[in-house]
């Protein structure tokens, strides 16, 4: 059932307050990808068991598959059924129009990223699009996130090694972060400090010294994308520094696929794949979410 504008505004205001609390108390929201209903259930079960507030997020692919309003209803129904504190993030929205649709659907968090659709987008194009979304978000109070350039990788299992010398060319800088935040008025800055979308053959290495400098340079929230495949000690240090949102996707997808493949192998005569997903896959994905909740220091932080 669609939310009223007043309900949406109330949810968005609470989400803003909770992000401020996370920063003050040094914990972070896990932003976990919602590929389907079993994934959502896995996140909700982990959140319930550990009394942790969470974000679930969708990118344009999931929006196309499921639909904005269906996603909103799925999340609201699951929140009520499990009794958890949960918000929705529109991740890597590729256009102003797509971001506006997410705002109108009642998403509490909106990430505008036109460089995702156009890797060669100019600084002015990125800034102007971000400013337009920030202005429109005033309709509901949704929090807006962005970054000044394309963020590499993909939410998958990669076989190539990480070329850090190349990646360092796209690292955020304190001055660049400050200028972008001041130019756009965003609520959350997506920092690039060695984090990269996807999971790779080697663990990721985060530049925590740079993160401290960025934290000192901007007064808004800071997020980390591409959290999969990152040793937990980096996250534990990052939340102490002041990161309040960390995105996890590939770790969940890999656990999902591996559990399903094993279940199919062990149950060759079972043709109700949904039963196997419920019995084997949800548990596997829940374990991933639980491990991240521990690293993000968000256990026992929920309002409920």
Q: What is the CATH number of the domain that holds 250?
A: 3.20.20.70
| 67 belongs to a structural domain | yes
- Domain membership of residue 209 (yes or no) is yes
- Residue 109's DSSP bridge partners are 89, 143
Q: Which of 52-66, 148-162, 164-178, 235-249 has the lowest average pLDDT?
A: 148-162
Q: Which domain holds residue 155?
A: 5-295
Q: Does the global pTM surpass 0.85? A: yes
3-state class of 144 per DSSP?
strand
Please check whether residue 94 lies inside any domain of the structure.
yes
pLDDT band at 69 (very low <50, low <70, confident <90, very high): very high
Instruction: Transcribe 69-96 into DSSP letters.
Output: HHHHHHHHHHHHHHT--EEEEEEEE-SH
Q: How many folded domains does the chain comprise?
A: 1
* pLDDT of res. 156: 73
Residue 107 lies in a domain: yes
Flag whether 303 is in a domain.
no
In a domain, 275, yes or no: yes
pLDDT tens per residue across span 216-226: 999 999 999 99
Phi and psi at residue 83, to the nearest 5°: 65, 55
pLDDT in tens, 128-181: 999 999 999 999 999 999 999 877 667 777 777 777 787 888 899 999 999 999
d(CA 8, CA 5): 5
Distances from the Cα of 160 to the Cα of 102, 164, 233, 254, angstroms: 34, 12, 24, 16
Q: Is residue 304 part of a domain?
A: no
């Amino acid at each position: 059932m669609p939310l009223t504008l007043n309900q949406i505004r109330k949810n968005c205001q609470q989400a803003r307050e909770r992000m401020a609390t996370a920063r003050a108390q040094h914990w972070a929201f896990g932003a976990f990808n919602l590929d389907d209903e079993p994934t959502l259930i896995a996140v909700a079960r982990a959140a319930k068991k550990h009394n942790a507030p969470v974000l679930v997020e969708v990118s344009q692919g999931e929006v196309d598959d499921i639909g904005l309003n269906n996603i909103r209803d799925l999340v609201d129904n699951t929140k009520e059924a499990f009794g958890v504190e949960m918000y929705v993030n529109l991740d890597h929205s590729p256009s102003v129009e797509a971001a506006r649709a997410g705002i109108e659907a009642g998403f509490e968090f909106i990430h505008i990223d036109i460089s995702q659709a156009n890797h060669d987008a100019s600084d002015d194009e990125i800034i102007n699009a971000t400013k337009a979304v920030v202005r429109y978000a005033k309709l509901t109070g949704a929090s807006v996130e962005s970054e000044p350039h394309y963020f590499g990788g993909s939410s998958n299992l990669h076989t190539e090694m990480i070329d850090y010398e190349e990646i360092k060319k796209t690292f955020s800088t304190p001055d660049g972060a400050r200028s972008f935040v001041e130019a756009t008025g965003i609520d959350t800055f997506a920092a690039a400090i060695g984090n990269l979308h996807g999971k790779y053959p080697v663990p990721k290495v985060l530049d925590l010294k740079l993160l401290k400098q960025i934290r000192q340079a901007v007064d808004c929230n800071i997020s980390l994308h591409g959290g999969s495949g990152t040793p937990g000690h980096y996250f534990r240090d990052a939340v102490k520094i002041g990161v309040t949102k960390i995105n996890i996707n590939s770790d969940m997808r890999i656990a999902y696929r591996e559990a399903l493949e094993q279940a199919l192998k062990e149950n060759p005569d079972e043709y109700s794949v949904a039963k196997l997903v419920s019995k084997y896959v949800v548990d596997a994905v829940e374990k991933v979410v639980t491990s991240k909740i521990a690293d993000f220091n968000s256990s026992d932080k929920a309002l409920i």
